[in-house]
């Protein structure tokens, strides 16, 4: 319940642990109003909290020491370039994430990949909104997509998508650094959006306009506690909910434009 309430503030990621949880918020979004909101929640729940500033740095050394391969059934395997190739998967992706999100380890990325197995990407145009490492864009290309635009507001994600596209010998991904305004006039057959609840809710209307009738929107980065909220917003913005998958505290929704 507390995570759900904090989700109404500009917190965009949570990491649950046995003794509590970490809530992440961009430094620029932390304000007196956020601090006041946290204190008000203490009238509802008994808890303590502390604030830590995480400096912007390259996490590569730590990542390499902890990175494990990921396999989604026999459909897709994700590894780093220092791991040996997989023996039996239909699609193999090499990811060196550096400071970008998206290795397949998180439930949201795993569910997006699992759902993509059942979508038809052949000769389709695809938009990867909040591309992170470019992992979903790369998989879309391997599944036969004609062209993919991969957009992220974070410069390291833009750079990492370029690098990972090259490593995987993908030539039809256009990596774009910026906000949704850079692509909102484009039309795509399929949109992939593994971001967070705030961005998805704010973008529903624009994403709808970027799809043709029966166009597909696959979304994740959404907490289980926000399922009803996001589902209702999707319906209000002209989408039909085709399928909802759940993994631990996260959901992935397969939507189609009505």
Residue among 151, 157, 192 nearest 173 (CA): 151
Q: List Cβ<8 Å contacts ≥24 apart for 207-214.
A: 207/129, 208/237, 208/238, 208/239, 208/257, 209/184, 210/127, 210/183, 210/184, 210/186, 211/187, 211/257, 212/187, 212/257, 213/257, 213/258, 214/256, 214/257
User: What would you measure as the largest C-alpha separation in the chain, in angstroms?
Assistant: 55
**Pairwise pLDDT comparison (64 vs 150), residue with the higher score:** 150
Find how far residue 58's CA is from the centre of its chain. Answer: 20
Identify the CATH class of 118-257: alpha beta
pLDDT of res. 55: 80
Question: For 203-232, how does the pLDDT look when each residue is reduced to its tens digit (9 = 90+)?
Answer: 999 999 999 999 999 999 999 999 999 999
Question: For 50-84, how does the pLDDT look when each residue is reduced to its tens digit (9 = 90+)?
Answer: 999 988 766 556 656 667 788 999 999 999 888 88
How far is the C-alpha of 221 from the C-alpha of 236, rounded, in Å? 20
Residue among 33, 59, 220 nearest 129 (CA): 220
pLDDT of res. 57: 64
pLDDT of res. 64: 60
3-class SS at 14?
A: strand
pTM, entire model: 0.78
pLDDT of res. 62: 62
CATH 3.40.50.150 domain locations along the chain? 118-257
């Amino acid at each position: 319940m507390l995570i759900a309430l904090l989700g109404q503030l500009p917190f965009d990621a949570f990491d649950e642990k046995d003794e509590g949880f970490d809530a992440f918020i961009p430094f620029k979004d932390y304000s007196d109003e956020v601090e006041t909101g946290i204190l008000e929640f203490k009238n509802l729940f008994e808890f303590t909290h502390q604030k830590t500033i995480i400096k912007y740095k390259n996490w590569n050394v730590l990542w390499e020491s902890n990175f494990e391969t990921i396999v989604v059934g026999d459909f897709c395997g994700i590894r780093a370039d220092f791991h040996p190739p997989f023996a039996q998967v239909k699609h193999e992706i090499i990811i060196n994430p550096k400071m970008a999100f998206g290795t397949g380890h998180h439930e949201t990325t795993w569910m997006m990949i699992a759902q993509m197995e059942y979508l038809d990407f052949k000769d389709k145009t695809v938009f990867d909104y909040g591309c992170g490492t470019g992992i979903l864009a790369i998989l879309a290309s391997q599944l036969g997509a004609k062209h993919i635009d991969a957009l992220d507001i974070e410069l390291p994600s833009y750079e990492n998508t370029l690098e990972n596209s090259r490593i995987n010998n993908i030539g039809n991904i256009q990596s774009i650094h910026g906000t949704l305004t850079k692509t909102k006039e484009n039309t795509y057959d399929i949109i992939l959006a593994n971001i967070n609840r705030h961005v998805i809710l704010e973008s529903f209307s624009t994403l709808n306009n970027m799809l043709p009738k029966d166009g597909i929107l696959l979304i994740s980065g959404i907490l289980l506690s926000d399922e009803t909220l996001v589902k209702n917003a999707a319906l209000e913005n002209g989408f039909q909910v085709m399928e909802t998958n759940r993994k631990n505290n996260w959901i992935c929704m397969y939507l189609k434009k009505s």
